[in-house]
């Protein structure tokens, strides 16, 4: 029986992009279903009744939700090609710890930059840079976060790169100025087809963010 793999997603979601990168790394063919989040499909509501969010991976009719959980599932299910999580348990724990850090701290501070104004926005910027600097320290002199091989933590963070342009334009700052090594790493990752084909266009993301800011009156 051939595998049926469907991904419910939206183009600009950095969470959805993680799943796309993982699927591409493993060479898995899948049906990419783009959702309209204002008018969610019956399929999405059935497959993720708890959160009603994308991404959702549907593998042979069984849904998996939450991007990092999906990426781990993909890694465990298709374990013969391009392993994403390290083989050593301690290294695995470190990768999971930092991926959790990215979701809690990097994501939250990034949101502050484009959804708030004044002092809260400045705090968001400051925290965002601090958090990226910490990650730069974790990367060190390695080629990837995974070492020689592109891995789980690279997948977790690289999708933010597509959002950097929007953060920088709205926050009026340069990420490269603060974290040059991280930008070098990001450009290395972008040389991988799995990444370059999975990440959304930064200008498209910026346009979307501008529309939302106008809609919610954040830019006033």
Partner 1 sequence: APLSKQRPIQKTPNSIDQNSEKPRNTIMAEVKLFGCWYSPFSRRVEMALKLKGVEYEYIEEDLSNKSPLLLKYNPIHKKVPVLLHNSKPIAESSVIIEYIDETWEGPSILPKDPYERAMARFWVKFIDEKCSVAMWKAFAIPGEEGEKAKEEAAELLKFVEEEIKGKKFFGGDNIGLVDISANFIGYWFGILQEIAGLELLTKEKYPNLCKWIDGYINDNFVKDNLPAKDKMTQVLKPMAQPGYSGYKPKV
Q: Which residues bind partner 1 (CB under 8 A)?
A: 49-51, 59, 62, 64-66, 69-70, 72-73, 76-77, 89-90, 92-94, 96-97, 100-101, 134
How far is residue 185's CA from residue 215's CA, in Å, rounded to a whole number?
35
The two tokens of residue 129 are 């840079």
How far is residue 194's CA from residue 45's CA, in Å, rounded to a whole number?
29
How near is the Cβ of 127 to partner 1 at its closest, in Å? 13
Of 73 and 208, the one with the shorter C-beta distance to partner 1 is 73
- Chain centre distance of CA 90: 23
The two tokens of residue 130 are 């601090």
How far is residue 171's CA from residue 169's CA, in Å, rounded to a whole number?
6
Of 72 and 194, the one with the shorter C-beta distance to partner 1 is 72
How near is the Cβ of 6 to partner 1 at its closest, in Å? 15
How near is the Cβ of 105 to partner 1 at its closest, in Å? 8
The two tokens of residue 55 are 């991404």
Count Cβ neighbours within 10 Å for each residue of 145-156 and write b for 16 or more, e otherwise: bbeeebbbbbbb
Of 132 and 170, the one with the shorter C-beta distance to partner 1 is 132
Of 59 and 125, the one with the shorter C-beta distance to partner 1 is 59
How near is the Cβ of 71 to partner 1 at its closest, in Å? 10
Q: What are phi and psi of 7, to 5 degrees?
A: -120, 120
How near is the Cβ of 74 to partner 1 at its closest, in Å? 9
Of 138 and 218, the one with the shorter C-beta distance to partner 1 is 138
């Amino acid at each position: 029986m051939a595998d049926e793999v469907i991904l419910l997603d939206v183009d600009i979601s950095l969470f959805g992009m993680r799943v796309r990168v993982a699927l591409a790394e493993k060479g898995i063919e899948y049906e990419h279903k783009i959702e309209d989040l204002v008018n969610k499909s019956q399929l999405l509501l059935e497959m993720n009744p708890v959160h009603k969010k994308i991404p959702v991976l549907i593998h042979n009719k069984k849904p998996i939700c939450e991007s990092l959980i999906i990426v781990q599932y993909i890694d465990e299910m298709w374990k013969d090609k391009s392993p994403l999580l390290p083989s050593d348990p301690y290294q695995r724990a470190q990768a999971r710890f930092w991926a959790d850090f990215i979701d809690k701290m990097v994501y939250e501070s990034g949101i502050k930059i484009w959804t708030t104004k004044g002092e809260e926005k400045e705090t968001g910027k400051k925290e965002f840079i601090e958090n990226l600097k910490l990650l730069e320290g974790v990367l060190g002199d390695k080629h990837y976060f995974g070492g020689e091989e592109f891995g789980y933590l690279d997948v977790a963070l690289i999708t933010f790169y597509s959002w950097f342009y929007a953060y920088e334009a709205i926050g009026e700052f340069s990420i490269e100025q603060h974290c040059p090594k991280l930008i070098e790493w990001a450009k290395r990752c972008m040389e991988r087809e799995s990444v370059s084909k999975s990440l959304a266009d930064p200008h498209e993301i910026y346009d979307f963010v501008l529309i939302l800011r106008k809609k919610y009156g954040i830019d006033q």
